[in-house]
Each structure stands twice: as C-alpha cells, then as structure tokens.
Amino acid sequence: MEDSAPGRACPMNYRYRPGDLARRDDLETETLYVIGGLYGNRFALEAVLAMRDAERGDVTLVFNGDFHWFDADAATFEGVNRKVLGHRALRGNVETEIAGEDDGAGCGCAYPEWVSEAEVERSNRILDRLRETARKFPGARAALANLPMHLTARVGPVRVGIVHGDAESLAGWGFSQERLHENLANIARWFTQSGVGVFASSHTCLPVAAAIGGGILINNGAAGMPNFRDTRYGVITRIGLAPSPNSALYGTRAAGVHIDALPVHYDHGAWLGQFLEVWPEGSDARASYLSRILHGPAYLPSRAAREGFTLGELAAGIAPAETGAA
C-alpha cells in the first residue's frame, strides 16, 4: 500500500510546527468546550448548545474540525455550517477537502494501517458526495477554506493547544489511543515546543485522555457518534475554572482547572432517522458507520481514561471488556 494513496496520505498543506502554537493566545475564557467530530449530527449540536446553556459565566465553544461528514443533504449541511461558524472553529480534514477540489488526498484522513482498504475507499466516496453538496454553497466553502488549523486558549493558568489531529499535522494520528504511548518522546517535545499545558484533539475516531509527556492530552473522539460499546452518546472536552454542571465520563484537574470528557446525549432516534434517509441501503456511510451509530465501537471508558484521569459514575457503570482491548 502506498502512503500517497487517497485517504492514506498526509498532504503537505496539512502540516505545521508545534512551535507555531507558542504565540499570544487566540482566546481566553472561563469555560472551554472542544467539540471535535460532530460529523454533521445536528441533534448532537443541539445537545451541546443545551449543555452550554446549563453553564454559568463565560463559555467558549471551539469546533475543532470534522463538523461535516454525514450531512450530505443540502439543508442539514447549510444549517450545521451556519451554526458552527457562529462559534470558533478549526478546519478538519473533511472541511479542508470539501473546501477544495480533489487534489488526490481523498478524505484526507491519513488513515493508518489498521484501517482497511475497503473502509478507506468508502470514506473517499463519502467525501466525494459531501463535496458535491458543498459545491452548492460557494460562500460556505470559502469560509471553510479560511479556517485555521489550530487555536490556543487560556483557561485561568492553563494554556490549551486546540488541534484537529496532532501537534504537527491536521490529520496526524500521534494523539490516537493506539499510538499515544509509543509516541511519548514526540509528545514531550510537542509540549515543550508549543508551550501549552494541555492539548485538546480529535480526528482519530476514539477518545483518550492522559497526563503524559509533561502535559495533559485529551482527545474527545467524536461528538456526533457513540464512542463506547453499547452507548449512544457522543463525547466532548470541557476545560473550566469551575466544575462542570453536566456530569463527566472521566476527568482530572491541572493547576485547579477542571478537565473533563462529557457525554453528549443527543436524540438518537431522530439522528438515526435522518442518517438512514440521507444514506440509503447499500450506501458507503451505512456500510462503514451504521453499526457504530447503533451499538458503539468495541471500546470502553476505562481504556480512554488513562494516567491521571478518574472515571465518573456514568462511565464506571460500563463493565470492562473481558480482553480489555479496544
């Protein structure tokens, strides 16, 4: 398999340097929500906004990429785009690829070797269909193309580096649960060079959080799809000066700041109905994602919450897998 194949490649224009984040902070807030992988689930977006409404004080929402994906119908695409861009946002590989014409990157996912060829090909075709929809909204495409690849935020004493993939690439897998612990030396360097204390990422399909390499990494997985076995909620990251009014799956504290993974209890029935309508029998999205939407992936909160993170009651109620494997 060639690394340059569509869906496998990491395009050069996806790359940046960890030192690029060593700059004046882009925003300061009392409470930060980092919402990655909404995947066009407008019901999850509504749920996130309701969670925000339960907060007190200053709350900033950052959508860190891949807020589009399953929203291949024009009305949902337009609605999701308009609502998300009313907040801070980064472009993920999905937004980057639908904002431009096909440059051979496919979906831009830079899928690693454990993702099957059939799945990569389906993702490339989903991207083609989504781009077709996006072409109806040239203004939206231009706005997506202009989104940044990273942001820095200050929450009290903590600097947060917000990325889609990892600290070197928009589609990097260095913060994936699979690679996190083999990537320790790089992660330690990324914290040093960027000057952030926390990295908040997404992109790699499954959540993971750990005090690692001298900082804290929290990857929210997907806001718009289930992340754990037999669950039907998404996950987002919350970093706040005050404790969360919405109960956490797992969390930690750093310099007095609360860092939590929160469940996003979207309307599953409404979401499933829409998904099935937009993606009919035999479609690529059904083949790749219907099982996950219905049953969640074979992954557990106890695998996601690593060094320094403590499981909350909701997550502790999900029994560990017999193998403990993802």
Give residues 64-83 in contact with Fe ion (rule: CB under 5 A).
66
Site string for Fe ion, 232-261 (x = CB under 5 A): ------------------------------
Phi-psi region of 282 (alpha: psi -120 to 50; beta: other; left: phi over 0): left
User: Which are the contacts of 48, defined by CB distance < 8 A and separation ≥ 6?
Assistant: 33, 35, 61, 223, 236, 264
- The least distance separating Fe ion from the CB of residue 96, rounded to whole angstroms, comes to 9
Q: Which CB sits closer to Fe ion, 177 or 244?
A: 177
- The least distance separating Fe ion from the CB of residue 107, rounded to whole angstroms, comes to 8
Contact with Fe ion (CB under 5 A): which of 150, 203, 238, 303?
203
CB 302 within 8 A of CB 208: no
Query: Measured between alpha carbons, how far is 164 from 219 in angstroms, rounded to an integer?
Result: 9
Q: Which CB sits closer to Fe ion, 36 or 197?
A: 36
Contact with Fe ion (CB under 5 A): which of 7, 40, 92, 234?
92
The interface region with Fe ion, picked from 68-76, 90-98, 112-120, 137-145 by CB under 5 A, is 90-98
Q: What is the dihedral of CA 245, 251, 254, 259, to 10 degrees?
A: -50
- The least distance separating Fe ion from the CB of residue 215, rounded to whole angstroms, comes to 22
Q: Which CB sits closer to Fe ion, 126 or 248?
A: 126
- The least distance separating Fe ion from the CB of residue 324, rounded to whole angstroms, comes to 26
Based on the shown chain and the rule CB under 5 A, indicate whether residue 8 belongs to the binding site for Fe ion. no
Q: Which CB sits closer to Fe ion, 199 or 312?
A: 199
Query: Measured between alpha carbons, how far is 286 from 272 in angstroms, rounded to an integer?
Result: 11
Count of chain residues binding Fe ion (CB under 5 A): 4
The strand pairing partners of 155, in sequence order, are: 158
Based on the shown chain and the rule CB under 5 A, indicate whether residue 93 belongs to the binding site for Fe ion. yes
Q: Which CB sits closer to Fe ion, 41 or 93?
A: 93
User: Which are the contacts of 291, defined by CB distance < 8 A and separation ≥ 6?
Assistant: none
CA angle 203, 220, 110 (to 5 degrees): 10
The interface region with Fe ion, picked from 93-101, 207-215, 246-254, 293-301 by CB under 5 A, is 93-101
Based on the shown chain and the rule CB under 5 A, indicate whether residue 97 belongs to the binding site for Fe ion. no
Q: Which CB sits closer to Fe ion, 72 or 315?
A: 72
Closest to 252 in 3D by CA, of 267, 263, 237: 237
Phi and psi, residue 60, nearest 5° = -120, 130
CA angle 272, 274, 275 (to 5 degrees): 65
- The least distance separating Fe ion from the CB of residue 152, rounded to whole angstroms, comes to 20
Query: Measured between alpha carbons, how far is 259 from 140 in angstroms, rounded to an integer?
Result: 32
Instruction: Give the nearest residue (CB) to Fe ion.
Output: 203
The interface region with Fe ion, picked from 92-100, 243-251, 279-287, 317-325 by CB under 5 A, is 92-100
Q: What is the dihedral of CA 53, 55, 61, 63, to 10 degrees?
A: -80
Joined tokens for residue 248: 């956490």
- The least distance separating Fe ion from the CB of residue 156, rounded to whole angstroms, comes to 29
Phi and psi, residue 161, nearest 5° = -95, 120
Residue 13: helix, strand or coil by DSSP? helix
- The least distance separating Fe ion from the CB of residue 323, rounded to whole angstroms, comes to 27
Sites of contact with Fe ion (CB under 5 A)? 66, 92-93, 203
